[in-house]
A and B are shown apart, each in its own frame.
Chain A
């Protein structure tokens, strides 16, 4: 069997407080998680359970305190060159136009200016921004900025796409459009996707597999559900299928308790 695209084994991340060295916080512990090549995996869990931490570990932006990270069978050092990352927050460079933002990755790789421009323009068109290449981020709507980020990530043709609640700031209509777009792009190119979300509907509608995380601290995966809904899917339609409701009920049954736990902990802290 080919090595999985992402393979986390026994990963733990402990943060040390800068001001009080005694204070530690273990965000995740004992995480085994693998994403096969071309597989779409979602991670859901209560707030503050270290979902983003896991993603940063897979991206190579954060070194785990313990455990191993392998990307296509090779241990990860430095940033993950085979992965593209879509952030939850605004990640476009505000001093570059949409086109220049999409070109950025190609420029960093040393692709010739003219070719970078053509390829970036192609991707802008694919995400529906063909005529907005000369807009600066502040001149675009939230949805357009997300599309531009998507193009910026995908223009590099990464084998792995990491997404950290990329659509959480969008309104519901834009969000469904974007989800469908991502699904159809994924369908066409079959990348490995690790998708972080707090929205169970979104997770089930989009993924092949949903991983449920326990409440933090020392959060870890506690359940896995294969999503056997037929593809291609439409995120709005799929939610009306009986199988979707079954899966939703099953996963929610497991998630509910953790969400309550996580909530109680937050109240205690506050």
Chain B
């Protein structure tokens, strides 16, 4: 029996799923009023009040998706904001990183400004963006872009600096022009850096969208969470967090899938197979 389910690559998913179930079970047991005698709080309703109850949370999620089917418009808004912030921020970071890494003078001039803008707590810009772009999607996208841009920017910048000088010289000796160097040497060379930054950026694009919604909006999952919090409805807050987490995971998986396709040339460890 144990040999069948022993942790190994084939049963990896099973174990991951099992851990998740266990986590929710623990959550359920600890918060369900009347199940175990209270040991932290004065009465057994308090745990449920502060941490929510998994069964009720799943009830909320079910209502959102199937019974009332009213989450779709909110989810759509949040996802659209996230994807736009992600795309614009990543494209801008890539272009900016390549440009500054390849023109040392511009980089030297702008260096303190880049550092300052990166060091600035950019979440605080949200109210200003709300003034500039209104309370619609624009201000959320803008906030997400400022978060994503710098992550991608610094990774691309670093990636260009680490391009193998030998490969570069070799391409030059093979007659590559400046454009061809960019297209055939710099770009492929920074892809691994870009992708490692994209994984972090997906999460941050979500942060931008949700925080933006949280601070002022009329739709989006962040708005749902804010409303629920206003009435101390911890179950709905938790449900919102779970839904967001699930979609962040899906987006990250998508980035991973694209990465896998583009990075076939990268050596993988342990390519041998035991016969």
Contact = CB atoms under 8 A, between A and B. Distances in A.
A binds B: yes
B167 interface: yes
B169 A93 contact: no
Contacts of A136: 264-265, 267
A105 interface: yes
Interface residues of B, number: 22
Contacts of A96: 188, 265
A244 interface: no
Contacts of A256: none
B166 A108 contact: no
Interface in A98-138: 104-105, 107-109, 136, 138
Contacts of B266: 94, 138
A152 interface: yes
Q: Looking at A80, A91, A96, which has the most chain B CB atoms within 10 Å of its CB?
A: A91
Chain B binding surface, main DSSP class: helix
Chain A binding surface, main DSSP class: loop
Interface in A50-80: 59, 61, 79-80
B172 A90 contact: no
Contacts of A59: 169, 173
Contacts of A97: 265
Contacts of B176: 104, 108
Given A93-B185, A136-B265, A138-B267, A108 B173 contact: no
A61 B165 CA distance: 11
B177 A108 contact: yes
A89 B83 CA distance: 41
A195 interface: no
Contact of A89 (B166, B265, B267): B166
Contact of B175 (A81, A89, A94): A81
Contacts of A167: none
Interface in B155-177: 164, 166-167, 169-177
A40 interface: no
A61 B171 CA distance: 11
Given A59-B173, A93-B171, A87 B166 contact: yes
A87 B170 contact: yes
Interface string B171-210: 1111111001000110011010000000000000000000
5 contacts: A85-B169, A92-B167, A93-B184, A105-B174, A108-B175
What are the nearest 3 A-B pairs in CB distance? Answer: A105-B174, A91-B170, A138-B267
Interface of B: 164, 166-167, 169-177, 180, 184-185, 188-189, 191, 264-267
